[in-house]
Chains A and B, each alone.
Chain A
Amino acid sequence: MEALGLLIHGFQVLLTFKTLALMMVGLVLGIFVGVLPGLGGPNGVAILLPLTFTMDPTTAIVMLSCIYWGALFGGAITSILFNIPGEAWSVATTFDGYPMAQQGRAAEALTAAFTSSFIGSLTAVLLITFVAPGVASFALRFGPPEFFAVYFLTFCSFVGLGKEERHKIVISMALGLLLAGVGMDTVSGQLRMTFGWSELLRGINFLVAVIGLFGISEILLTMEERLALRGHVARINLRVVLQTWRTLPRYWMTLLRSAAIGCWLGVTPGGAIAASFMGYNLAKRLDKDKESFGRGRIEGVFAPETAAHAAGTSALLPMLALGIPGSGTAAILLGGLMVWGLNPGPLLFVEHKSFVWGTIASMYLGNVVGLVLVLSTVPIFASVLRVPFAAIAPMIVVSCAIGAYAIQNAMFDIWLMLIFGVVGYVFKKLGYPLAPLTLALVLGNRAEDAFRLAMIGAEGDLRVFWANPLVGTIMSLALLLLFWPAIASLTERLRALAGLRTT
């Protein structure tokens, strides 16, 4: 068990006063961000990223990932007490969580949500601990063609498995890839798509785009909807917590199923939202009493929360092991890695052992501390929602501006952030998905470099992508996923034909 030894080393890295203090700060900030309407995991992490620029990478990622855990916990508070999902993947939690709060069982629902989040995350962290090193050492054998194939697979799975209109996914992704290409071309040194404008030489920074796309656009959307906050009061005492925990073993099947779904879907990009709905729907479908779902069943909280958090956490697995983020937030953390001067990819496990295992150890510790913290402070954070939005909105705008400016010390980036804010607002309203754009922006250059290096190595022969079984399998899988909707509808039609013939 080499992983266990390394994990213990990770805990040693973590157990300094400064790191632990920053961990608590991260958790509190994260819960705060998660509770605020119109902010969630990715926005919170993006806005607070500049705080970490002067830290060493390990401390920085510990704090950032704690902001993320905190935001995940905080999202459940708003879903249950106010019927406002803090994140898209908290939507399924509102189905039964809010009715429970209406029936005066808010404390029970919150305990269930926090506990199942914890169980989901823990399952995923265990997965990361024991699977990620293997994946990384396997990926060490990857050359440029293999890496390009994996990137290609990521993009194809978005197009093939996305729920939005197909052409909008393609546009969103192509736009992200194009924007990533703006500026100096790393291979030839030529300037691309700058139109002689010196501000564009630096390229379009991924984090600036994210702050605009998620932070500013959320403010615009929240303003437009004019949220009327009518929340329920919740006070959690130890008795309710223990009572709810005592019922846990009864739901082991639901928890286990949701955790498995979450881990599986989290590794594939954009999976957390799908995971939460799938967890909920499966719990509902497999239950004898389907009708009672949506009226305050505790399983209706357990199932989506476990799945969403397992997915949200396991999204960090490909990020750490391959340098490919599985979710929007993971993409931002990846952007952070680059700012701190680390090169994401399988080599991280070899060259930066303390960093990787410190991160993984912080996932364990952050979740335990987060659970205790959130259970004990719910009333305080719930009262945050009574602060008028007119006070919170400008503060978020200020935080966004600080974040955008700090990345490259450029005023131009603040304007860019504003433009991306408008783009994000329009895109969200028209059903253009933002996750492919984010992912394409952060992966674009790396995907292109891998492609060109592969081409240089193979002297321009495209057959290099089917040159060995490994790369061939990944590429074929990617194409299969890309055309999955067409294949699915074709097989359905064939089956219908066969059905007609037999009857």
Chain B
Amino acid sequence: MADDEAVAAAAEDPPVASSRSVDLAVSVLILGLAILLGWDSWRIGAGWASDGPQAGYFPFYLSVLMGAASLYGIAATLRARHAEAGAFVTRAQFERVMKVFVPTLVYCLLIQYLGLYVASFLLIAGFMWWVGGIAAWKSLLTSLVFTVVMFVTFEIAFNVIMPKGPLEAAFGF
């Protein structure tokens, strides 16, 4: 049953990227990171001082190790040319992932201006209503209750301070 579904899904759901190309891209990125970090560690000294290894010693050799492993990964991916190229993510999947990633990104931006609690209220209500297709009043009510419970739990009961915005300031917090 699951196989049939997969086949049917594959027919109308083209891949956005193949696993192979993403694997390759990630390996190259890691190689780049390894070179960057290795260079920085070399800059501050990756050798031995009179009292043991310098500050850059550990990170430098780890960068070398990571770079070597990523080179191996690149080579292995390129060599396996004839292996079946599975989809890393199909278009429908990618759209669904974006449906949660984009709101999360906007949420993180909003925290800086509105404070965490107001942004959370907007995220939950908006997500339930827009993505989940849940009735507006249910979304708003659920979101309000959850946000208030969070506020009482963290801000008042456990004294864990969160970033706050204009609304909280109006109430004197």
Contact = CB atoms under 8 A, between A and B. Distances in A.
B53 A224 contact: no
Contacts of B33: 175
Given A401-B107, A415-B108, A192 B99 contact: no
A418 B108 contact: yes
Contacts of A393: 100, 127
B73 interface: yes
Interface in A145-165: 165
B85 interface: no
Interface string A214-226: 0010011001101
Interface in B128-173: 128, 131-134, 139, 142, 146-147, 150, 153-154, 158-163
A496 interface: no
B53 A192 contact: no
A11 to B, nearest CB: 26
Interface stretch (A348-356, A363-371, A449-457): A449-457
Contacts of A405: 116, 162-163
Nearest to B161: A409
B35 interface: no
Contacts of A53: 158, 160
Given A171-B66, A178-B59, A406 B162 contact: yes
A181 interface: yes
Interface of A is mostly: helix
B123 A426 contact: no
B96 A224 contact: yes
A53 B158 CA distance: 8
Nearest to B29: A426
Contacts of B150: 398, 402
A250 interface: no
Contacts of B107: 397, 401
B48 A460 contact: yes
Nearest to A409: B161
Contacts of B66: 170-171, 174-175, 178
Interface in A448-489: 448, 451-452, 455-456, 459-460
Contacts of A17: none
30 contacts: A51-B160, A53-B160, A167-B76, A170-B66, A171-B69, A171-B70, A174-B34, A174-B65, A174-B66, A178-B63, A192-B55, A192-B59, A195-B40, A219-B100, A388-B132, A391-B139, A398-B150, A401-B116, A402-B160, A402-B162, A406-B161, A414-B108, A414-B111, A421-B104, A426-B22, A429-B89, A448-B58, A452-B53, A459-B52, A460-B52
Interface of A: 50-51, 53-54, 165, 167-168, 170-171, 174-175, 177-178, 181, 185, 187-188, 190-193, 195, 216, 219-220, 223-224, 226, 388-391, 393-395, 397-398, 401-402, 405-406, 409, 411, 414-415, 418, 421-422, 425-426, 429-430, 448, 451-452, 455-456, 459-460
